[in-house]
Amino acid sequence: MTEPSKKQRKPDPCSFIVFGATGDLTHRLVLPALYNLAAADLLPDKFCVVGIARKGMSSEQLRKGLLEGLHQFATRPVDDAIAQRVLECVTSIEADPKDPASFDALRTRLERLETNRATGGNRLFYLATPPAAFAPITRELGRTGLLKEEGGAWRRLVIEKPFGTDLVSAKALNDELLKILTEHQIYRIDHYLGKETVQNILVLRFANGMFEPIWNRNHIDHVQITVEEKIGVGHRGSFYDATGALRDMVPNHLFQLLSLVAMEPPAKFDAHTVRSEKAEVLAAIQTQSEAEALRNSVRGQYQGGKIGDAEISDYCKTPDVKPGSTTETYAALKLAIDNWRWAGVPFYLRTGKALGLKRTEVAIKFKQAPFAMFASTPVESLAENYLVIGVEPTEGITLQFNTKVPGPTINIDGVEMKFRYKDYFHVEPTTGYETLIYDCMIGDNILFQRADSVEAGWQAVQPFLDAWKKVGAKGLETYKAGSEGPAAAEELLKRDGRSWRKLG
C-alpha cells in the first residue's frame, strides 16, 4: 500500500506471467484488475502478459476468451481501445510442470518476448492455479533459473490462497518456496487486504490522535469480527468439503482484520515494520488446548432454507459434497491475545455461509460507563458503545453512543454517528485486486502475508481443526439457510454475559 501522500507512479517495465490463464480467477479478477489499471494509466509502458495454459491454445484464442471474461466481469463499462491495449500484450505459452521440457521452452520464448517488448527482464509470475500446483510450478521456475534475480532485473512470485491446509502443510510450502526464492520475492495474496476499508483500519487507528489512547484492555470490553455471507457453497462442493469455513476464512481473511485491529503501532509505515507487528500479534494469540478449543468454539452446517427468494438445499446435498459430511459451513471462535494491550479482552470471531445477511464488520465494544448518575434508567435500555468498522455491505465507520431524548425528563437512548465512504469520496468500483497487482509491480509487499504471519495464523487455528476432527459429527450444530446461524453461537457470548452486535 503506498502512503496516502505518495503520488502513484508507473511501475517498471515487466512481463506478467499468469499460470491458470484460462481459469476463473484470471477471468473474474486478474484481467478486470489489469484493465482498471490500464484505464488509470498505471500499467508499465513496456509490458507483456503471458498466459500459461496447460492445453495448447493460440494467443488469439486466449485473447478472445479473456475479452469475453472482461465483458462479463468488468467493474465498469469496457472501453474497447483500453481493452485492446491490454489484450494486444497477451501471448499464450504452454507449460506443464509434469513436462519439464515445456519450462525450458517457456524460458526461451519468454526471453525472446522480453527482448521484443523491452521489459528489462523484470518478471511477475502469478500462480492463479489450484494450490496443488504451487510447489511443482515454483520448482520448475527455479530449476530453469526463471526466478533468479540477476543483472538488476527483479523476479517475483504471487501466490493465491489457500496457503496450506494446516500448520504442517503451510510450513512445508514456505520451506519449499524459500529454498528457491527469498522472502522479498514472494507475494502471498489475501484479497481482504485489497479492500479500502480494511486498509483504512491502520489510518483510522494511527492517523488520528483520539483512538489509540483508549485502544486497549482499560477501555475495550471485547472485539467482534463478523464475516457473514448469503451465498451457499454453490459449485465449489469438492473444494469446500475438504476445506470448511474455518480454513477457508479464519487464518487468512478474519486474521487480517484481527491483526490490523490488534497490532501495536508500527514505528514506520513500511512493509518490514508493519508486517513484523502483524506477525507479532498473531503469534500472541493464545494456543488453546483441544479441550479449550472445543469449549471456545461453535461449528455448524446449513440445512435447506430460503435466502431472500432463493431456495437453497441442505449443504450435504450440494454437488460434490460427501453425503453425511461433517464439514462446517459456519464457525465461531473465542480467542485471547496474550499481550499487555489485550490481556483479558476476548476476540470473538464468526463466519458462515448461507446466512440471512451479507455482512463483514469489526465491532469494538467499549466498557460500560458507571451509570450511577442514571441509576433509574434500566441498563438494558442504554445503548452499548460500539465503534464499528464496516466492510460490507456499507463501507464506513459507525460510532454508537447514548444521548438524551429531548424533553423535560432525562430519558436516554442510543444513537449512531455514521461515516460512509460513498458520501465523501467518488470511487470507481474495482475488483480489489488493482492495488495488490500494482503493489507487486512496484515491489511493495506491505499488503502481502509474510511466512511468519501465515504460520502464526495456522498455529492459532490448529487446535480447533484437531479437536473438531477428533469429535467428528459430535458437536456439529445445524442452522437453517437464511437464518443468523446456529443458536449455540449466541451461547458462546451469552455465557460471558455478552451478545453479538445486532444490526441497528
Q: Which residues bind ligand BG6 (CB under 6 A)?
A: 161, 229, 248, 360
Three-class DSSP category at 381 = helix
Identify which of 83, 72, 82, 63 has the alpha carbon closest to the alpha carbon of residue 29.
Answer: 72
d(CA 243, CA 351): 14
Distance from the Cα of residue 107 to its chain's centroid = 32
**With respect to ligand BG6, which residue has the nearer C-beta, 189 or 262?**
189
Task: Work out how close the CB of 443 gets to ligand BG6 at its nearest, in angstroms, rounded to a whole number.
Answer: 25
Residue 315: CB minimum distance to ligand BG6, A: 13
Side by side, the strands of the sheet bearing 155-159 are: 90-93, 47-52, 14-19, 123-127, 155-159, 186-188
Active site residue 184: no
Question: Bridge partners of 48?
Answer: 15
Point out the residue whose Cβ comes nearest to ligand BG6. Answer: 248
Whichever of 123 and 161 has its CB closer to ligand BG6, that residue is 161
Coil/strand/helix, residue 65 = helix
Query: What percent of the chain is helix, strand and coil (3-state, nearest 5)?
Result: 40, 20, 40
- What angle, rounded to 10 degrees, do the helices at 80-87 and 31-39 form? 120
Minimum CB separation of residue 257 from ligand BG6 in Å reads 11
Give the β-pairing of 220-228 and 347-352. parallel
CA distances from 237 to 254, 307, 317, 415 (A): 22, 19, 10, 43
Nearest distance from C-beta of residue 27 to ligand BG6, angstroms: 16
Angle at 337 between CA 250 and CA 265, to 5 degrees: 95
State how far Cα 168 lies from the chain centre.
21
Q: Tell me how many degrees the CA angle 258-264-269 measures, rounded to the nearest 5.
A: 100
Spatial contact of 250 and 461, defined as CB atoms under 8 Å apart: yes
| Phi and psi angles of residue 349, each rounded to the nearest 5 degrees, phi first | -120, 140
Q: Which of 219, 222, 253, 272 is catalytic?
A: 253
H helix intervals, 224-270: 237-241, 244-249, 255-262
Query: Least CB distance from residue 320 to ligand BG6, whole Å?
Result: 15
Q: How far is the CB of 161 from ligand BG6 (least distance, A)?
A: 6
Min dist CB 229 to ligand BG6, Å, is: 5
- The single residue listed with the C-alpha cell 465449489 is 236
DSSP state of 193: G
Measured CA to CA, the distance from residue 11 to residue 65 in angstroms comes to: 27
Nearer to ligand BG6, 96 or 248 (CB): 248
Cell numbers found for residue 390: 464496516
Smallest separation (angstroms) from ligand BG6 to the CB of 163: 11
Q: Which is nearer to ligand BG6, 197 or 385 (CB)?
A: 197
Tell me whether strands 90-93 and 359-366 are parallel, antiparallel or unpaired. Answer: unpaired
User: In the complex with ligand BG6, which residue's Cβ is closer, 360 or 483?
Assistant: 360
Q: Which is nearer to ligand BG6, 93 or 355 (CB)?
A: 355
Helix (H) or strand (E) holding 200: helix 196-206
Cα 310 to Cα 39, 237, 307, distances in angstroms: 36, 19, 5
229 and 484 Cβ atoms separated by less than 8 Å = no
- Cα separation, 220 vs 364, whole angstroms: 7
Beta carbon nearer to ligand BG6, 199 or 276 = 199
Residue 498: count of CB within 10 angstroms of its CB: 18
Nearer residue to ligand BG6 within complex by CB, 27 or 161: 161
In angstroms, what is the minimal distance from the CB of 354 to ligand BG6? 11
Comparison of 145 and 393: residue with beta carbon closer to ligand BG6 = 393
Q: Which residues are known catalytic residues?
A: 253
